[in-house]
Amino acid sequence: MQELGKAETNSTRIIRQDDKRVIIEKDLDTEYMVLSMGPQHPSTHGVLRLECITDGEVVVEAEPYLGYLHRCFEKHCENVDYPGIVPYTDRMDYLAGINSELAFCITVEKLLDIEIPRRVEFIRVITAELNRIASHLVAIGTYAIDLGAFTPFLFCFRDREHILSLLEWISGARMLYNYIWIGGLAYDVPADFKKRVAEFVTYFRPKAVELFKLLTENEIFVKRTYDIGIMPADVAINYGWSGPMLRGSGVRWDLRRNDPYSIYPELDFNVPVPDGKFSVVGDCLSRHLVRALEMEESLRIIEQSLDKMPDVAGFDSRALIPKKIRPKAGEVYGRAENPRGELGYYIVSDGKSTKPLRCKARSSCFVNLSAMKDLSKGQLIPDLVAIIGSIDIVLGEVDR
């Protein structure tokens, strides 16, 4: 934060030295006010703090401050053996634990160069897509709350509850699963798995349509998000955006398609990208639309995976898990499409230790959030809230 001049006692009188001042009315020269938004603010999605310099309701500049949830993930990794890192990855993007685990496990498996049983791959994809729906439901629900609609939020959480109880039934935990292990799974799925997931899919389809009608097609909701916080595609790529954020800017980029992993190449699904008819490409509404449409694609992936998943009698999901993970010396970068974008792990192994020499996590939320300063310039405070909501950050992943 640069020096903004003197802050006198009792009155927040801030004089900027440069001439970046936004003047709304030419004759009315007003003073800036520094507004500290967060870390306990209701719409900063956790513990993000934004220092906004405001001119009335206009945000001249918003600077995000991070680190309130920093837990030294990367340093921890250097002191824990490979299987021990998996539970930590859950705690990064705590709304999509399975996806974080999946990204980490495929990275280490790449380093180890081991084969994964086909049944395990399908279970991984089904659980990951279930978790993606759950995560998008939270994103959409909290976005509705940011814009003042409370009911869609509770509808989202009601439906998410079904997913959480499914995953709890499979893995024993509701949010921090530790289910996907390097080379396999913690447990095979229970006997009724296919039936119950299929039941959920038939339950959820009409609910997603209802949610779309209630929120996305709502006139006020569209008014609040249409043409707000536009991010052009080239700038988005330069910022390194990924996931629904990048797709919202009109770039058809999905790692499940562009850098395929697991069994995604075998599955038939679309990558929704806004066409500019319902929204301006790159605005908040586009990002919301991408998330809303992706849930349907995830449902399609789940259905196809359920059909193709082989039933193996007496299947042992831990059979191929290496007894001791000690990769040969080398480095690897593995990535997967998380609900919030590209989650990548860069792992360096020295070939001697069972612990990684270095483990760097490339967090999608952190990269997406980096554009905040650019997006927020000259916006109104309500629009700032709409923009933060559309970025859909999870501070656990931003701060790591």
| CB-count exposure of residue 125 (10 Å: 0-12, 13-18, 19+) | buried
- Cβ nearer to another protein, comparing 138 with 215: 215
Handedness of CA 254, 286, 371, 230 (dihedral sign): positive
Binding residues vs another protein (CB under 8 A): 10, 33, 35, 41-43, 57, 144-151, 154-155, 158, 214-215, 218, 220-221, 223-224, 380-383, 385
- Cβ nearer to another protein, comparing 130 with 386: 386
Residues 6+ apart with CB under 8 A from 329: 349, 350, 351, 352
Closest CB 152 distance from another protein, rounded Å: 9
Residue pair 285/215 in contact (Cβ under 8 Å)? The answer is no
- Cβ nearer to another protein, comparing 176 with 380: 380
- Cβ nearer to another protein, comparing 24 with 72: 24
- Cβ nearer to another protein, comparing 66 with 380: 380
- Cβ nearer to another protein, comparing 193 with 221: 221
Residue pair 305/125 in contact (Cβ under 8 Å)? The answer is yes
Closest CB 148 distance from another protein, rounded Å: 3
Rounded distance between C-alpha atoms, residue 297 and residue 172, angstroms? 26
- Cβ nearer to another protein, comparing 116 with 147: 147
Closest CB 178 distance from another protein, rounded Å: 31
Rounded distance between C-alpha atoms, residue 89 and residue 98, angstroms? 9
Closest CB 334 distance from another protein, rounded Å: 37
Closest CB 34 distance from another protein, rounded Å: 9
Rounded distance between C-alpha atoms, residue 198 and residue 258, angstroms? 28
- Cβ nearer to another protein, comparing 175 with 214: 214
Closest CB 157 distance from another protein, rounded Å: 9
Closest CB 290 distance from another protein, rounded Å: 19
- Cβ nearer to another protein, comparing 218 with 354: 218
Closest CB 65 distance from another protein, rounded Å: 17
Closest CB 218 distance from another protein, rounded Å: 6
